[in-house]
Amino acid sequence: MNPLSSGRPFPDAARDALDNAQLRHNLGAATATIRTKRAAVVGEVPDWQQLRAAGAAIKDDVLANLDSYLLQLEEQVTGRGGSVHWARDAAEANAIVTSLVQRTESTEVVKVKSMATQEIGLNEALEASGITAIETDLAELIVQLGNDKPSHILVPAIHRNRAEIREIFLREMPAVDPSLTDEPRALAEAARRHLRAKFLAAQVAISGANFAVAETGTLAVVESEGNGRMCLTLPRTLITVMGIEKLVPTWRDLEVFLQLLPRSSTGERMNPYTSMWTGATEGQEFHLVLLDNGRTATLGDPRGRSALRCIRCSACLNVCPVYERTGGHAYGSTYPGPIGAVLSPQLTGVAANKTLPFASSLCGACYDVCPVAIDIPTMLVHLRGRVVDTKGRTPERAAMRAAAWTMRSPARWTRALRALRVVRLLRGRRALPPPASAWTRSRELPVPPKQTFRDWWTSR
Amino acid sequence: MKVALFTTCLVDGLFPDVGKATIAVLERLGCAVEFPLAQTCCGQMHVNTGYPREAVPLVRNYVETFAGYDAVVVPSGSCAGAIRHQHADLAEQAGDARLAEAARERATRTFELSEFLVDVLGVTDVGAYFPHRVTYHPTCHSLRLLRVGDRPLQLLQAVRGLELVALPDAESCCGFGGTFAVKNADVSTAMLADKMRNVLTTQAGVCAAGDASCLMHIGGGLTRLHAGTRTMHLAEILASTAASTE
């Protein structure tokens, strides 16, 4: 299955989530908490809007000059002892990483939380070659042990509460203390003990990257638990899989993003663990896999490309009224929420993700909080047009054309408005054919008036 | 000042009282309002459902119909938002630079009702009387596309007899979203359920907003529940006077 497209229409998948009261409760509480924290720490930055504009401008420059920045990055990384690999798609990236791990003869790798490796289904690919990938981020570990899928970009186990986490640990974690409680401290301690053994034994680590500095060849990973630092420093071999849009031109540009990212994502003023490395350390190996997987295709759409500015902060998920009620699984993609609804269809091609651009009421809350000012609502509307263009003749198109034809002419429109009176006959009826039934399931139809406004005006 | 009313297709066909109320408020404040009969729809439904090309003739119709007015008043944040944020872009996408230019010009003269009253006329007390407990839902497009801010609240606070109660989680979408309400009916309903719960906790008799579309949604839900709270457009409250209120 493509990690970017489950093939299941969003409205269907959403229904399952909506009916899950525990999930709704977990999500409502968690998103409200992060929303409040974010709003407080963003509100205290006097030049937030300027920072946001700077973030957008730096990323737009990267996207406009991606070819030269990527070559510059490759030169810098190679010059400092690292190896750079180019992957056109998920299959190529998985093959590269698998062969790199196989060369070390390791059968177990530790992983830093990474969206790029989720996007390509790396863990599953490694497993098929007999290599076990161990997620070391606490929430990713919960998801992995629970045979589950992440439901949030930043907080992958947001759909789980601590009682559920305790059950997963008791069931799946070898050598766990059977008297484990659901106190956060106890749960974290159990995960810590479990992971410590893995860190010390691992010969290979796999990470993503939050940023790569073209000027110096420096990679950066931003995390909160210290697990990333363990993975990035202890094992002999480090393999980093990074989307080609993760670049910033210069070291100085990090200043902007290291302010924007923690405040937007976890609602923290400063990020707890920011690890940066340049090339390979003596005695160790470093491989950088540059991943396209639909990004150059996204770059080709002038009205869609700014989705590639995204720094994966998840602020848009936390404020989205749709995400808050459905959670991430309903989107059927590694990237859920508003950014997922614009990014996933572009990475896969809209034909493989036809319902996601419609999974929004266009309320605009996502655009307001986006730290790199991606106009998600406008992009959703644009992608809806692209989806419609893949569809040929449909009853909806016929209806839209008929409506436009009527509205184009004031005379036709005046008659059509008058004809609405017929609907008065349906007053109080709920058993209507689709699409009216989708409305009347939960809402009364408005009763059309005896006289339209324009007829009242004319008779006045 | 030559003022026109763009009543919106929804108000024209389904909620004429909102149009009549808008006229009443504007005339009370001394505006001679015209209603050009050539007007139809802003085209937002087409654009937001993925049919931008079908909306271009509607943009042209809007631009032609409202040429020569100093101000166009729209009792809808959403339609005013579409005119301001979509029209010129649609014309440009269609390769019609002249239409885009004209659309940009019209957009600068197009005002949502509360914007027109507070910013253009400079009025917050419109002389209304409405002795009811009211809560106000700020619609997404008035809030985030137009940034009307607290203008509607200023207007409501100046209404004599009106008790304004804050709506919890007010800035959260009601779940309408145009064709979203039908295409994603279940998610839309879940959003509506939370909005209705918040409206009902205020114990207001009236839930007000500046968009007939969102009110059709919230009101459709409240009516289905026989909740005993009615929905009213901001214009209808502002049009109420001691003489009209029973």
pLDDT of residue A423: 81
Could you tell me the strand order of the sheet in which A211-213 lies? A247-248, A211-213, A218-223, A273-278
Q: How far apart are CA A384 and CA B187, in angstroms?
A: 18
pLDDT in tens, A218-252: 999 999 999 999 999 999 999 999 999 999 999 99
Contact B220 A18 (CB under 8 A): no
Structure-token match 């002249």, residue found: B98
Contact B140 A363 (CB under 8 A): yes
The predicted model gives B18-24 an average pLDDT of 98
The predicted model gives B5-30 an average pLDDT of 97
Are B22 and B240 spatial neighbours (Cβ–Cβ below 8 Å)?
no
- Chain A residues whose CB is inside 8 A of the B143 CB are 364
Closest-CA residue in chain A for B226?
A444
Helix (H, G, I), strand (E, B) or coil at A374: coil
B175: left (phi over 0), alpha (psi -120 to 50) or beta: left
CA within 13 Å, CB half, A64: 6
Residue A340 Cα, gap to closest chain B Cα (Å): 17
- Chain B residues whose CB is inside 8 A of the A414 CB are 37
State yes or no: pLDDT of B246 exceeds 60: no
- Chain A residues whose CB is inside 8 A of the B45 CB are 403
pLDDT-derived band at A360, boundaries 50, 70, 90: very high
- Chain B residues whose CB is inside 8 A of the A9 CB are none
Tokens of B129: 């009387």
Look over chain A and give the mean of its residue pLDDT values, rounded to a whole number. 95
Angle at A27 between CA A24 and CA A33, to 5 degrees: 140
Higher-confidence position of B245 and A388:
A388
Query: Which among A325, A435, A446 is the nearest to B220, CB-wise?
Result: A446
- Chain B residues whose CB is inside 8 A of the A449 CB are 14-17
| DSSP-derived secondary structure for chain B | --EEE---HHHHHT-HHHHHHHHHHHHHTT--EE--TT----SHHHHHHT-HHHHHHHHHHHHHHTTT-SEEEES-HHHHHHHHHTHHHHHHHTT-HHHHHHHHHHHHHEEEHHHIIIIIS--S----B--SEEEE---HIIIIIS--TTHHHHHHHTSBT-EEEPPTTTTS--S-TTTHHHHTHHHHHHHHHHHHHHHHHTT-SEEEES-HHHHHHHHHHHHHTT-S-EEEEHHHHHH--TTT--
Query: Which among A24, A439, A458 is the nearest to B182, CB-wise?
Result: A439
Are B45 and B178 spatial neighbours (Cβ–Cβ below 8 Å)?
yes
pLDDT of residue A435: 84
CB interface of A with B, residues 180-219, below 8 Å? none
Decide if A427 touches B, using CB distance below 8 A: no
What amino acid occupies position A162? R
Q: Cis link prior to A435 (omega < 30° from 0)?
A: yes
State yes or no: pLDDT of A431 exceeds 80: no
pLDDT in tens, B63-106: 999 999 999 999 999 999 999 999 999 999 999 999 999 999 99
The predicted model gives A409-433 an average pLDDT of 85
pLDDT-derived band at A433, boundaries 50, 70, 90: confident
pLDDT-derived band at B245, boundaries 50, 70, 90: low
Mutation for A interface: B37, B73, B137, B184, most A CBs within 10 A:
B184
> Beta strand B33-34 with B3-5: parallel, antiparallel or unpaired?
parallel
pLDDT in tens, A123-136: 999 999 999 999 99
Contact B190 A18 (CB under 8 A): yes
In this structure, the number of other CB atoms found within 10 A of the CB of residue A17 comes to 22
Are B194 and B60 spatial neighbours (Cβ–Cβ below 8 Å)?
no
Decide if A39 touches B, using CB distance below 8 A: no
pLDDT-derived band at A271, boundaries 50, 70, 90: very high
pTM of the model: 0.96
Q: How far apart are CA A306 and CA A59, in angstroms?
A: 8
pLDDT in tens, B107-127: 999 999 999 999 999 999 999
Tokens of A334: 């590694």
pLDDT-derived band at B26, boundaries 50, 70, 90: very high
A428: left (phi over 0), alpha (psi -120 to 50) or beta: left
pLDDT of residue A249: 98
Mutation for A interface: B76, B187, B191, most A CBs within 10 A:
B187
Interface predicted TM-score (ipTM): 0.97
Contact B172 A444 (CB under 8 A): no
The predicted model gives A325-329 an average pLDDT of 96
Residue A51 Cα, gap to closest chain B Cα (Å): 20
Decide if A36 touches B, using CB distance below 8 A: no
